[in-house]
Amino acid sequence: MNRALIVGASAAGLAAAETLRREGYEGTITLVGDEPYDPYDRPPLSKQVLAGEWPPERVRLRTSEELGGVELRLGTPATALDTINRVVLLRDGTTLPYDGLVIATGVRPRRLASASADTGTGTGTGTPHVLRTLDDALRLQARLTRGRRLIVVGAGFLGAEVAAVARKLGVEVIMLEPAAVPLAHAVGEDVGRVLTEAHREHGVDLRCGVSVTETREGGVRLADGTEIEADDVLVAIGSVPNTEWLAGSGLTLDSGVVCDEYCAAAPGVYAAGDVARWHNPLFGTPMRIEHRTNAAEQGMAAARNLLSPDAPKPFAPVPYFWSDQYDMKVQAFGHLREHDEVAVADGSLADRRFIAAYRKGNRLVGALGVGMPPKAIRQWRQSIAVSAGWDDAVRPSSA
Ligand SMILES: Cc1cc2nc3c(=O)[nH]c(=O)nc-3n(C[C@H](O)[C@H](O)[C@H](O)COP(=O)(O)OP(=O)(O)OC[C@H]3O[C@@H](n4cnc5c(N)ncnc54)[C@H](O)[C@@H]3O)c2cc1C
């Protein structure tokens, strides 16, 4: 292999590029990204950047100079992939031939119908906010001043982090969530309720069981016709994998790029990060993970397998994520979704200091900690990694 091409210049793409070099690959590496910036980190966007604590430069992961030996092509999206002739087409008309390709194009925010003029640039008056890019974060940050009112549509982790920062800045926050208990599908009802309570204590007007059908100039409209006014609206209702450019490529696309356990989507084509739906043999199920650590680890795994197609290694991680809200640090290992049972294994929900363990069948599949030292929750990682049985791993304490 002499020509490695990586599409998507963020956490997963960067990890893939750097791994190729670290593993001794000496051919060319081209990293294509549609954003005009050097690769940068997203988690601080809804935390330190939004709070105005970090200048935007601080999220940069590498400068172009630090990426010496990697040809960066920024500000130009890839628009098509031809897997037969092994070329990628860019919007500016360039065709890039490759011997090995890593797809790391991530996801974009899901949007709601909007009755206000949406210029598509995110700058029109009344245009609802989303939060995925540095520009999104700076635009929202400029609006979060004391006394203003923000509606957050969706009480998932992203919406919850923004609500927490906005409250800290003295912004009035109304958070609207269709589910009866936010995050119940992801972390279970009891844990979802605990996380939710923290928002109410900090003055967020959280309304559950409420569906927003449309954003409008100066607010939102609910399914029952009610209108709620606000200075700004953030829509945080999940994301859509960036796979449109792969239409007609012959790859299997099913809410992400479908890959095998080696992150391979086709001969010489791998996918990594938020866009990849791969088979995780540790859990025996396909998954697509939208978390920072997984993006880097999968970028590395895809690059290694690209270099060793005859001796590939399965990518079988214990997924990890964290979220910061107020003084709460949430950390989780494993595959929490589709669990059969949640039990408090340490601490207490009432004190908001606990570790919750997740069961699927007779196996421990996940653990989530709030307010616990990192070491305490990390111990659970090992039990999940060795597929520990539920009864062996969990000694529930009373909540
Ligand atoms: C505000 C925010 C807060 C977060 N907080 C946390 C957190 O606390 N903990 C955690 O674990 N995770 C968090 N995440 C998730 C984490 O940031 C992502 O999992 C990670 O960024 C995924 O990296 P990626 O490289 O797979 O995709 P992305 O970071 O989405 O990067 C994909 C890149 O490809 C580009 N691209 C798309 N299409 C094309 C194309 N056709 N051609 C060229 N380029 C293209 C995109 O514009 C983007 O630059 C957060 C995410 C956001 C947005």
In this prediction, residue 397 carries a pLDDT of 54
Do 104 and 117 fall into the same domain? no
CB environment 26-58: b (16+ within 10 A), e (fewer): eeebbbbbbbebbbbbbbbbbbbbbbeeeebee
Do 126 and 205 fall into the same domain? yes
Q: How far is CA 297 from CA 66, 291, 352, in A?
A: 20, 10, 30
In this prediction, residue 120 carries a pLDDT of 47
For residue 125, is pLDDT > 70? no
In this prediction, residue 114 carries a pLDDT of 78
Locate the ligand 1 atom nearest the alpha carbon of residue 39 and give its number.
49
The proportion of the chain whose per-residue pLDDT surpasses 90, expressed as a percent, equals: 90
| Domain assignment present for 318 | no
Do 225 and 252 fall into the same domain? no
Give the Å distance between the CA of 8 and the centre of ligand 1. 9
Rounded to whole angstroms, how far apart are CA atoms 354 and 356?
A: 6
Question: Hey, whose CA ends up nearest to atom 50 of ligand 1?
Answer: 43
For residue 121, is pLDDT > 70? no
Do 221 and 299 fall into the same domain? no
Question: Hey, whose CA ends up nearest to atom 28 of ligand 1?
Answer: 106
> Which of 237, 268, 287 is the last residue before a domain boundary?
237
Query: Per residue in 219-246, pLDDT tens?
Result: 999 999 999 999 999 999 999 999 999 9
Q: What is the mean pLDDT of residues 349-355?
A: 94
Query: Per residue in 241-266, pLDDT tens?
Result: 999 999 999 999 999 999 999 999 99
Whichever domain contains 295, its CATH number is 3.50.50.60
Do 212 and 147 fall into the same domain? yes
Locate the ligand 1 atom nearest the alpha carbon of residue 289 and give its number.
19
Confidence band of 354 (pLDDT split at 50, 70, 90): very high
Give the Å distance between the CA of 103 and the centre of ligand 1. 13
For residue 205, is pLDDT > 50? yes
In this prediction, residue 396 carries a pLDDT of 54
Q: How crowded is the C-beta side of 290, counted as CA atoms within 13 Å?
A: 21
| Domain assignment present for 316 | no
Do 47 and 150 fall into the same domain? no
The proportion of the chain whose per-residue pLDDT surpasses 70, expressed as a percent, equals: 96
| Domain assignment present for 77 | yes
For residue 182, is pLDDT > 90? yes
Q: What is the mean pLDDT of residues 192-205?
A: 95
Task: Count structural domains, the chain.
Answer: 3
For residue 116, is pLDDT > 80? no
In this prediction, residue 124 carries a pLDDT of 45
Q: What is the mean pLDDT of residues 97-120?
A: 85
Give the Å distance between the CA of 366 and the centre of ligand 1. 23
Q: Report yes or no: 5 and 32 within 8 Å, Cβ to Cβ.
A: yes
In this prediction, residue 68 carries a pLDDT of 85
Do 117 and 179 fall into the same domain? yes
| Domain assignment present for 32 | yes
In this prediction, residue 77 carries a pLDDT of 98
In this prediction, residue 127 carries a pLDDT of 85
Q: How far is CA 71 from CA 14, 20, 325, in A?
A: 12, 13, 38
Q: Which residues line ligand 1 (CB under 6 A)?
A: 7-13, 32-35, 42-43, 45-46, 77-78, 104-107, 131-132, 158, 242, 245, 273-274, 290-293, 295, 321-323
Q: What is the mean pLDDT of residues 87-109?
A: 98
Give the Å distance between the CA of 346 and the centre of ligand 1. 33
| Domain assignment present for 398 | no
Confidence band of 126 (pLDDT split at 50, 70, 90): low
Query: Per residue in 307-323, pLDDT tens?
Result: 999 999 999 999 999 99
Locate the ligand 1 atom nearest the alpha carbon of residue 275 and give its number.
26
In this prediction, residue 239 carries a pLDDT of 97
| Domain assignment present for 312 | no
Do 186 and 135 fall into the same domain? yes
Q: What is the mean pLDDT of residues 129-148?
A: 97
Do 53 and 89 fall into the same domain? yes
Query: Per residue in 287-296, pLDDT tens?
Result: 999 999 999 9
Whichever domain contains 361, its CATH number is 3.30.390.30
Rounded to whole angstroms, how far apart are CA atoms 237 and 16?
A: 29
Do 59 and 174 fall into the same domain? no
Q: What is the mean pLDDT of residues 181-206?
A: 95
Locate the ligand 1 atom nearest the alpha carbon of residue 107 and give its number.
30
Do 343 and 281 fall into the same domain? no
Q: What is the mean pLDDT of residues 321-339?
A: 93
In this prediction, residue 143 carries a pLDDT of 97
Confidence band of 119 (pLDDT split at 50, 70, 90): very low
> Which of 262, 278, 307 is the last residue before a domain boundary?
307
In this prediction, residue 35 carries a pLDDT of 97
Do 8 and 102 fall into the same domain? yes
Give the Å distance between the CA of 275 and the centre of ligand 1. 9
| Domain assignment present for 167 | yes
Could you list the residue range(s) of the whole structural domain that residue 366 is in?
Answer: 327-393
> Which of 275, 307, 339 is the last residue before a domain boundary?
307
| Domain assignment present for 47 | yes
Confidence band of 122 (pLDDT split at 50, 70, 90): very low
HEC secondary structure over 314-372: CCCCCCEEEEEECCEEEEEEECCCCCCEEEEEEEECCCCEEEEEEEECCEEEEEEEECC
Q: How far is CA 279 from CA 227, 359, 392, in A?
A: 43, 20, 26
Q: Tell me the pLDDT of the chain averaged across its residues.
A: 94
Question: Hey, whose CA ends up nearest to atom 42 of ligand 1?
Answer: 77
Residue whose entry in the numeric block shows the structure tokens 């520990």: 388
